Amino acid sequence: IPYIGKTLVYWLWGGFSVSNATLSRFFVLHFVLPFAIVAFVVIHLLFLHETGSNNPLGISSSTTLIPFHTYYTVKDVVGFVFLMALLAFICLFSPNLLTDPENYIPANPLSTPVHIQPEWYFLL
């Protein structure tokens, strides 16, 4: 970033190189950021509930209102319970479904295997 890049890097690092201050700052960032996101989402929902959403078509939507709490809360809870049950079923009855079969090759400390590769999410 022109003009402020070096200053920003020094501030994030807490000095001229990565150190304990850097790790502490990023730990705090990773701890506080989810709470800040949840707070912004709640504020957004409160404002949206208070003023209503945009209506670009100009159609009167007062006849098609669905109560938010009873309908969407139950729908989300049912979906969450279903997904958690599916995850528990996969973890308990087929734990090796998503693992790499080459993990079961006995370890040989004298030779590096040819099949070593990064996990799939690092290859994206």
Number of neighbouring beta carbons within 10 Å of residue 25: 14
Task: Note whether 55 and 61 are within 8 A (CB).
Answer: yes
Does 6 participate in catalysis according to the annotation?
no
Catalytic-role residue among 24, 44, 61, 76: 76
Task: Note whether 105 and 113 are within 8 A (CB).
Answer: yes
Q: DSSP 3-state assignment of 17?
A: coil
Give dist(CA 81, CA 60) in Å, integer. 35
Give dist(CA 17, CA 21) in Å, integer. 10
Catalytic-role residue among 53, 60, 62, 111: 53
Does 60 participate in catalysis according to the annotation?
no
Does 100 participate in catalysis according to the annotation?
no
Give dist(CA 45, CA 52) in Å, integer. 10
Catalytic-role residue among 24, 75, 100, 102: 75
Catalytic-role residue among 17, 60, 111, 119: 119
Catalytic-role residue among 19, 24, 44, 49: 49
Catalytic (active-site) positions: 49, 53, 75-76, 119
